[in-house]
């Protein structure tokens, strides 16, 4: 197969991980007889430096013309003082919206080799952690009206959180469909005791529920869910939730699995052209030292192979190689444990390549 991949190298330590993920993709292409070509696109801090805009139309167009986009992470102290619409993160939000990627899939699965790195008690981890956060990605408070104004001699800021029924229905359906392919359990997470948007979510979810009688469906307030994720994570199979709750819960979910440096994500909309990125940030504190963990980015590339290109065997090959590297006791600093061998970013990339 021939595929064109848009690459966004990102900011701070991000180019280091994207470089390793591209080496892995090249190895897959070589081994399985595919041709991957790459188009470099700029987004985030890099685009601000180059164009004065975190996502110029030309760069969005490159992504839209590609078969899928691989991204590291954007942002960093250099751009922290920028106004809201000129921040690197704004480029990411515009990219997600411009590509219509409403469904963000963030797996939280414990790697047995990393069980000791989980901050949870052994007896909780042993019950199993294997769930997915299906996060709505292009609606809600991230995309509602944001304004700051003067009132009665002081500043007032407002961020609004709109959701319409069709936005809820399409992500709700992804939640049910994802559950059908797994253990058939779906939890809708919201704040229906306070928010109108949550009450609308529930009414739409109830309509959908009738179409998926096999799915065991329940609802949970987000504050309780945050607690349950650390108290009893084995109860979850698929969580479906709105944009900001999904942002927060997926960080918590990744941490209990051992390291946020291991968690990939996919974002998809109506077509197979998706955006694949680790859920972690650009780790400015360790940039340029070749110590960052490239695995989340490598696993994001594996998700691209599976979900956008239908390359199941190839995706399995990458995931198995990562598994073998962990079995061999190789660890980057973020997940280093006694008795293991500490390696840097490039050496971790080498180790994965050797096992494909
Ligand atoms: C994420 C990140 C982004 C988000 C930021 C960088 C805007 O935290 O992908 O989880 O909040 O969506
Ligand atoms: Mg986040």
Closest CA to 256 of 144, 116, 152: 116
| Binding site membership of 279 for ligand 1 (Cβ less than 6 Å) | yes
Contact 278, 73 (CB under 8 A): yes
Give the pLDDT confidence score for residue 297 in this predicted structure.
98
Predicted confidence (pLDDT) per residue in 8-60, tens digit: 999 999 999 999 999 999 999 999 999 999 999 999 999 999 999 999 999 99
Give the confidence band of 82 by pLDDT, cuts at 50, 70, 90.
Answer: confident
pLDDT higher than threshold 90 for residue 172: yes
Selected catalytic residue, list 53, 190, 237, 247: 247
Respond yes or no: is residue 42 known to be catalytic: no
CA distance 209 to 56: 41
C-alpha distances out from residue 346 to 37, 288, 328, Å:
22, 12, 16
Give the pLDDT confidence score for residue 20 in this predicted structure.
98
Residues, Cβ < 5 Å to ion ligand 2: 247
Give the pLDDT confidence score for residue 258 in this predicted structure.
85
Give the pLDDT confidence score for residue 62 in this predicted structure.
98
CA distance 183 to 190: 21
CA–centroid distance, residue 142 to ligand 2 (Å): 12
Nearest CA to ligand 1 atom 10: 247
pLDDT higher than threshold 90 for residue 256: yes
196-212 burial string, b = 16+ CB within 10 Å, else e?
ebbebbeebbeebbeeb
Q: What is the DSSP string of 287-330?
A: TTTT-S--HHHHHHHHHHHHHTT--HHHHHHHHHHHHHHHHTTE
CA distance 267 to 233: 23
Tell me the mean pLDDT in the region 246-256. Answer: 94
Backbone angles phi, psi at 314, to 5 degrees: -65, -45
Predicted confidence (pLDDT) per residue in 211-229, tens digit: 999 999 999 999 999 999 9
Respond yes or no: is residue 142 known to be catalytic: yes
Give the pLDDT confidence score for residue 85 in this predicted structure.
81
Ligand nearest to the CA of 265: 1
Give the confidence band of 281 by pLDDT, cuts at 50, 70, 90.
Answer: very high
Give the pLDDT confidence score for residue 65 in this predicted structure.
98
Chain-centroid distance of CA 233 in Å reads: 19
pLDDT higher than threshold 90 for residue 121: yes
Nearest CA to ligand 1 atom 12: 247
| Binding site membership of 290 for ligand 1 (Cβ less than 6 Å) | no
Give the pLDDT confidence score for residue 83 in this predicted structure.
85
CA–centroid distance, residue 31 to ligand 1 (Å): 34
Share of the chain above pLDDT 70, in %: 100
pLDDT higher than threshold 90 for residue 298: yes
* Summary mean pLDDT of the chain: 97
Lowest mean pLDDT among 70-79, 189-198, 243-252, 253-262: 253-262
Give the pLDDT confidence score for residue 84 in this predicted structure.
78
Predicted confidence (pLDDT) per residue in 196-206, tens digit: 999 999 999 99
Burial of 28 (0-12, 13-18, 19+ CB in 10 A): buried
Respond yes or no: is residue 116 known to be catalytic: no
Ligand nearest to the CA of 92: 1
Lowest mean pLDDT among 110-114, 181-185, 204-208, 229-233: 110-114
Nearest CA to ligand 1 atom 11: 247
Respond yes or no: is residue 191 known to be catalytic: yes
**pTM score of the predicted model:** 0.94
Respond yes or no: is residue 50 known to be catalytic: no
Give the pLDDT confidence score for residue 259 in this predicted structure.
86
């Amino acid at each position: 197969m021939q595929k064109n991949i848009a690459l966004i190298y990102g900011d701070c330590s991000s180019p280091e991980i994207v470089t390793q993920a591209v080496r892995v993709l090249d190895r897959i292409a070589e081994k399985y007889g595919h041709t991957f070509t790459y188009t470099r696109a700029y987004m985030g801090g890099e685009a601000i430096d180059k164009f004065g805009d975190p996502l110029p139309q030309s760069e969005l167009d490159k992504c839209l013309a590609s078969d899928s986009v691989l991204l590291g992470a954007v942002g960093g102290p250099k751009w922290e003082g920028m106004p809201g619409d000129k921040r690197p993160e704004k480029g990411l939000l515009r990219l997600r919206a411009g590509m219509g990627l409403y469904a963000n899939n963030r797996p939280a699965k414990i790697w047995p080799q990393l069980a000791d790195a989980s901050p949870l008690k052994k007896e909780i981890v042993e019950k199993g952690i294997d769930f997915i956060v299906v996060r709505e990605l292009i609606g809600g408070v991230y995309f509602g009206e944001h304004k700051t104004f003067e009132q009665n001699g002081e500043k007032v800021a407002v961020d609004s959180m709109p959701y319409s029924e069709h936005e809820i229905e399409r992500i709700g359906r992804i939640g049910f469909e994802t559950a059908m392919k797994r253990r058939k359990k779906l939890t809708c997470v919201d704040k229906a005791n306070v928010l109108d948007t949550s009450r609308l979510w529930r009414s739409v979810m109830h309509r959908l529920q009738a179409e998926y009688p096999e799915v065991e469906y329940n609802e949970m307030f987000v504050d309780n869910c945050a607690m349950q994720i650390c108290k009893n994570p084995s109860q979850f199979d698929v969580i479906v939730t709105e944009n900001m709750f999904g942002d927060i819960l997926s960080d918590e979910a990744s941490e209990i699995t051992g390291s946020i440096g291991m968690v990939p994500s996919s974002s998809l909309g109506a077509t197979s052209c998706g955006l694949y990125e680790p859920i972690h940030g650009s780790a400015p504190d360790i940039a340029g030292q070749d110590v960052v963990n490239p695995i989340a980015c490598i696993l994001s590339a594996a998700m691209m192979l599976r979900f956008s290109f239908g390359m199941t065997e190839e995706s399995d090959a990458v995931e198995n190689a990562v598994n073998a590297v962990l079995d061999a006791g190789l660890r980057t600093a973020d997940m280093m444990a006694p008795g293991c061998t500490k390696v840097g970013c490039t050496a971790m990339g080498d180790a994965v390549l050797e096992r494909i």
